[in-house]
Amino acid sequence: MPTFAYIARDASGRRVRGNADGNTEQSVLTDLSTRGLTPIRVTPARTARNRKRVSTRILARSYVQLSELLRAGVPLLRSLRLLARGKSHPQLAAIWAEVAESVSRGERFSDSMAAHPHAFGEVHIAMVRAGERGAFLESVLARLGAFLDNQAELRAKIIGNLLYPVVLLTVALGVIVGALIFFVPKFKDLFGDMELPLSTRLLLGTSALVVAWWPLMVAFVVALAIAVQVARKKESLRLNIARRFLRLPKVGGLFASLAVARFARILGTLLENGIPMISALEIARDAAGNALMARAITEAAESVRQGEQLSTPLAQSGLFEEDVIEMITVGESANSLPSVLVSLADTMERRVDRACTALLKLMEPALLLGLAGLVFFIFLALVLPMMQMSSQL
C-alpha cells in the first residue's frame, strides 16, 4: 500500500506533519478528517531508496527491455511487474514496482513515473507522455533508451579522459603537502643559524605557514565550497561564471561545444518523439546544465512564440558557431529540424571528444613537468645548504 506524506492542522490549529498509508490520496484525506485533522497538503512519500539517482546506463537498459516486452505483445502492467522482479538492481526494481502499482490503480504510466523525479527526468516523462498519446510507446521507449545510452557514453568518455590528470594532480598535491608538513620541518634545526639561500628560506617559510595555519586553510577551502554552492543558486552569478568560462582559451570552446551538443541532443530527441516546439524548448532549458544556454533557450522560446525563427536568438548567445547556426537555419527552412539537431549532436559530441583528447595530451606532460619541477625545487632548496656546510668543513 502506498505511503503519503501529509501536512495538516489539529483542533488547536497546530501544524502537524506525518505519514499515512492509503490506496489513494482521497482515502488519506478521508482518514485525516476522521482523526480530527484538517489537511493542508498530501503528497506521495519519498522513501530513502527513491531519493537516490539511478545509473543512466541501468535506466537505459530498463527502457529498452520495456520496449521489447511491449513490442512482443506483453501488456504494459505485466511488463512493469516483470521489471519489478529484477534481481540485479533492487533499487530500480522497487521503483518499477511502485509505478506498476500506480498503473494498476488506473493512473497513466507517465503520471506514475512523475511521482519518482529522482529516477525519471522531465525529458523521460515528456517523451513517455507523448508516446502514450500517440500510441507509439514502445518506439519512444526504445529511442529513450538509446538517448540515455548516448548520454552515458559521452559522460564516460569525458570522465575517463579527466580521470588520469585528476588523480595525478591529487597525488602531487598530497605528496607536496605531506613533504611540507612532515619532512621539511626536520631540516630547520639542522641548518641552525647559518645563512640560507633564498630558495631554502622560501621553502621553510612555506612549510611553517602550512604547519601553523592548516586549520585556517581547511576552513578556507570549506568556506570556498559553500560559497560556490550558494553562487550556483544565483542566476546572475552563474551567468557571470559561465561568461568567464567561455573566455578561457581552449577550455571555453570545449564547454560551449558540450552545452550545444547536450541542447541539440535533448531538443532533437524531444521533437522526433512528437513533443511540441515550445514544450520541448522548456524541457531542454531545464536540462541545459549551463546558465548561458538556459538564457538562450528562454529567449529562443519567446521568439518562437512570436512566430520568429529559432536560430536568431541562439546566434546571439555566443555559444553557437556560425556553421551550427547555419545548420539549424537550414533545418528550420526544410522542416527537418529534429533530424538535423540529432545529426548536429553527433557531430558536436565527436568534436568534444577530439578536443578533450587533444587538451589532455597537452595537460598530462604539463602536469608531470610541474610536479617534477616542484620536487626538484624542494630537493635543491634542502641540498644547497648541505653543500655549503660540507664546503666549509
What are the contacts of 171-174 at 24+ separation with CB within 8 A?
Answer: 172/367, 172/370, 172/371, 172/374
Residue 352 lies in a domain: no
| Number of structural domains the chain divides into | 3
Whether 72 is covered by a domain: the verdict is yes
Confirm whether 194 is domain-assigned.
no
Domain boundary residue, one of 151, 167, 187:
151
What distance in Å separates the CA atoms of residue 108 and residue 104, rounded to the nearest whole number? 9
Residue type for position 272: E
Q: What is the pLDDT along the chain (393 residues), one digit of tens a residue?
A: 566 777 777 777 677 777 777 766 777 788 888 888 887 777 766 543 445 677 888 999 999 999 999 998 899 999 999 998 887 788 888 899 989 988 898 888 988 888 888 888 878 888 888 888 777 888 889 888 888 888 888 788 878 877 888 888 888 888 888 888 888 888 877 776 777 788 888 888 888 888 888 788 888 889 988 887 777 677 677 777 777 777 877 777 888 888 888 888 888 888 887 888 888 888 888 777 778 888 888 888 888 888 888 888 888 877 888 888 888 888 888 888 888 998 988 888 888 888 888 887 888 788 888 888 888 888 888 888 877 777 665
- CA 166 to CA 363: how far, in whole Å? 11
Q: Judge if 41 and 56 occupy the same domain.
A: no
Q: Alpha-carbon distance 86 to 267, whole Å?
A: 32
Burial label, 109 (beta-carbon count in 10 A; 0-12, 13-18, 19+):
buried
As to burial, measured by CB atoms within 10 angstroms (0-12 exposed, 13-18 middle, 19+ buried), residue 76 is middle
**pLDDT score, position 107:** 85
The letter for the amino acid at 258 is L
**CATH assignment at residue 100:** 1.20.81.30
Residues 336 and 260 in one domain: yes
pLDDT at 279: 84
pLDDT score, position 51: 52
29 and 121 housed in the same domain: no
pLDDT of residue 44: 66
- As a whole number of angstroms, the distance between CA 73 and CA 247 comes to 54
- Same domain, yes or no, for 22 and 71? no
Q: Alpha-carbon distance 28 to 48, whole Å? A: 21
User: Does a structural domain hold residue 312?
Assistant: yes
The pLDDT of residue 294 is 84
pLDDT at 13: 66
pLDDT at position 228 is: 76
The reply to whether 385 falls in a domain is no
Residues 60 and 121 reside in one and the same domain: yes
Question: Which DSSP string corresponds to 138-197?
Answer: HHHHHHHHHHHHHHHHHHHHHHHHHHHHHHHHHHHHHHHHHIIIIITTHHHHHHTTSPPP
**Among residues 151, 174, 197, which one ends one of the domains?**
151
Which residue has cell 529562443? 300
Q: How far is CA 47 from CA 8, 43, 62, 116, 239, in A?
A: 20, 12, 21, 10, 35
Residue 98 and residue 2 in contact, taking contact as beta carbons nearer than 8 Å: yes
Question: What ranges make up the beta strands (E) of the chain?
Answer: 3-9, 15-21, 38-44
| 199: helix, strand or coil | helix
Domain span at residue 331 reads 252-340
Decide which of 121, 151, 181 is a domain's last residue.
Answer: 151
Residue 234 lies in a domain: no
- The CA distance from 168 to 37, in Å, is 59
40 and 60, same domain (yes or no) = no
Which CATH number covers residue 318? 1.20.81
The owner of cell 604539463 is 366
Q: Is residue 381 part of a domain?
A: no
CA distance linking residue 346 with residue 348, whole number of Å: 6
**What pLDDT is stored for residue 48 in this prediction?**
39
Residue 163 has a CB neighbour count (10 Å cut-off) of: 11
For residue 203, give the DSSP letter. Answer: H
- CA-based end-to-end distance of the chain: 87
Contact criterion met (CB below 8 Å) for 313 and 299: yes
What pLDDT is attached to residue 170?
87
Which helix (H) or strand (E) segment holds residue 117: the answer is none
The reported pLDDT for the residue numbered 49 is 43
What would the DSSP string read from start to end of 38-91?
Answer: EEEEEEE---HHHHSPPPHHHHHHHHHHHHHHHHTT--HHHHHHHHHT-SS-HH
- Look at residue 166 and tell me if it is in a domain: no
